[in-house]
Amino acid sequence: MIKKIIIGLMALSTLVLAQDTKKQSAPKVKCIISGDEIDLAEYSTYKAGKVYFCCGGCKEEFNDNGAKFTSAANFQLVATGQYSQTNCPVSGRGVKATKFVTVEGTKVTFCCSNCLGKANKSKDKVSLLFSDASFGKGFSVSQKKDEVKKTKTMK
């Protein structure tokens, strides 16, 4: 009986630890202007998604000077799941799951060691991997669950 209780407690503690690890690894979305916590009511439509801000002042700054913040805005689109990676952001070729780097909690994969090496050498990975040029090569709008179902049924 005691063995069963101990085994049960061990299994429960393993489950709790696994869930805590998942919570810690999820990227925390920050305002792309100030770096503060976002307010879901403060956003601007950007590309085919929404970029979130902490306040109306940051939203206005983005709307007035958006070109200064494209890499950060692109990164936020990926971190919030509105866009997902489809190819290597450096070369535009297919990716290998073993070639990756984590940028502020978001995993970015590459096609080869050369592209991975460029990312690892970069002091500003967000600017390198999420600039408009890189973003266009490596990321696209995520399909919503309904769209995925429609695609599967149409085939």
Tens-digit pLDDT profile for residues 81-102: 999 999 999 999 999 999 999 9
pLDDT given for residue 28 in this prediction: 79
Collect the ranges in the chain with pLDDT lower than 50.
15-26, 145-155
- pLDDT attached to residue 154: 42
Domain range spanning residue 95? 39-143
What is the count of structural domains for the chain?
1
- Secondary structure of residue 57 in the 3-state scheme: helix
Residue 72 belongs to some domain of the structure:
yes
Query: How many Cβ atoms sit within 10 Å of the Cβ of residue 129?
Result: 29
Report pLDDT for 7.
59
Q: Is residue 90 situated within a structural domain?
A: yes
Secondary structure of residue 46 in the 3-state scheme? strand
Whether the predicted model's global pTM rises above the 0.85 cut: no
In a domain, 108, yes or no: yes
Would residue 98 count as lying in a domain? yes
Quote the pLDDT of residue 5. 58
The pLDDT of residue 144? 65
In a domain, 22, yes or no: no
